């Protein structure tokens, strides 16, 4: 098999894999929020940025190639990921102590993983609508990080319920329904698109506090451990078929 190196470790990969897929299959965690092994890469959050033969690139979109020397764990890259995470916190309203997803949120878990202790930047305090019109799913636009996971998951399900509109600070999530409300859309609470959100933007109603604080996913293990446990088997299976 061809191989590359990640932080000095030799990693075999299969032709067609990205650097992130090769790393994940090998049990090496590279932080990410917008990538999912079952969906096409999107490359929006930039948290998976690595140095490849001296140049920066997104590991989720960068094809793995023989002889690549990849650096993912340098202090420079860690600081860059920390600043990106802090930007995500201040661009939306992410107040973990009062959030239903505390302990289940990937953004919160990534903040812990990167050693985030302050927001560093001034908070934007955006005022975006809360959509509680759906009987099963709550949509809190204030918490959306525009990863487009729900957009791509809904496309994969053939419903196309979600899309992103606008640019820059005017980017926002839109719902495909006559009223623009989630309750008038084709979304079901059992849809993958309703459950794939990495933060608290899409929350299933009547389920948010079923698991007590302290016993939740990232209360019991780090995001690196959880990510590799769930995603590595999916990557291996994908490239075996």
Question: How remote is the C-alpha of 174 from its chain's centroid?
Answer: 19
Residue 200 lies in a domain: yes
Q: Please name every residue paired with 52 in a beta bridge, in sequence order, or none if there are none.
A: 55, 70
176 and 115, same structural domain?
Answer: yes
Residue 68 lies in a domain: yes
Could you tell me the pTM of the whole model?
0.94
Question: How remote is the C-alpha of 3 from its chain's centroid?
Answer: 27
149 and 111, same structural domain?
Answer: yes
Domain count, the chain: 2
Residue 51 lies in a domain: yes
Query: Mean pLDDT, to the nearest integer, of 207-213?
Result: 87
Residue length, the chain? 241
Residue 184 lies in a domain: yes
189 and 125, same structural domain?
Answer: yes
Q: What is the pLDDT of the chain when averaged over all its residues?
A: 95
State which residues form the domain around 195.
Answer: 80-210
Long-range CB contacts for residues 118-125, cutoff 8 Å, separation at least 24: 118/86, 119/86, 119/89, 119/90, 120/83, 120/86, 120/90, 121/86, 121/87, 121/90, 122/90, 123/90, 124/90, 124/91, 124/92, 124/169, 125/93
Query: Mean pLDDT, to the nearest integer, of 190-194?
Result: 97
Query: Mean pLDDT, to the nearest integer, of 197-212?
Result: 92
Confidence of residue 241 (pLDDT cuts 50, 70, 90): low
Is pLDDT at 61 greater than 90 in this prediction? yes
151 and 180, same structural domain?
Answer: yes
CB-based burial of residue 60 (10 Å sphere; 0-12 exposed, 13-18 middle, 19+ buried)? buried
- Asked if 3 contacts 66 with a C-beta cutoff of 8 angstroms, the reply is yes
């Amino acid at each position: 098999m061809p191989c590359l190196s990640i932080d000095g470790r030799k990693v075999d990969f299969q032709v067609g894999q990205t650097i992130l897929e090769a790393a994940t299959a090998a049990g090496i965690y590279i932080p990410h929020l917008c990538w999912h092994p079952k969906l096409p890469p999107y490359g929006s959050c930039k948290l998976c940025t690595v140095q490849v033969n001296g140049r920066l690139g997104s590991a989720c979109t960068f094809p793995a190639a023989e002889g690549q020397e990849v650096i993912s764990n340098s202090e420079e890259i860690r600081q860059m990921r920390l600043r990106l995470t802090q930007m995500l916190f201040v661009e939306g309203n992410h107040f973990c102590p009062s959030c239903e997803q505390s302990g289940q949120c990937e953004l919160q878990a990534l903040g812990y993983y990167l050693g985030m202790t302050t927001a560093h930047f001034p908070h934007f305090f955006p005022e975006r609508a809360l959509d509680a019109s759906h009987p099963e799913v709550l949509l809190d636009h204030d918490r959306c990080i525009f990863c487009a996971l729900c957009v791509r998951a809904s496309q994969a399900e053939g419903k196309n319920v979600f899309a992103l509109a606008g640019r820059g600070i005017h980017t926002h999530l839109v719902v495909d329904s006559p009223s623009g409300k989630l309750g008038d859309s084709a979304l079901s609470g059992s849809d993958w698109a309703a459950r794939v959100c990495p933060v608290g933007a899409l929350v299933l109603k009547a389920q948010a506090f079923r698991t007590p604080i302290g016993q939740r996913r990232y209360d019991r293990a780090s995001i690196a451990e959880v990510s590799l446990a769930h995603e590595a088997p999916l990557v291996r299976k994908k490239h075996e078929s």
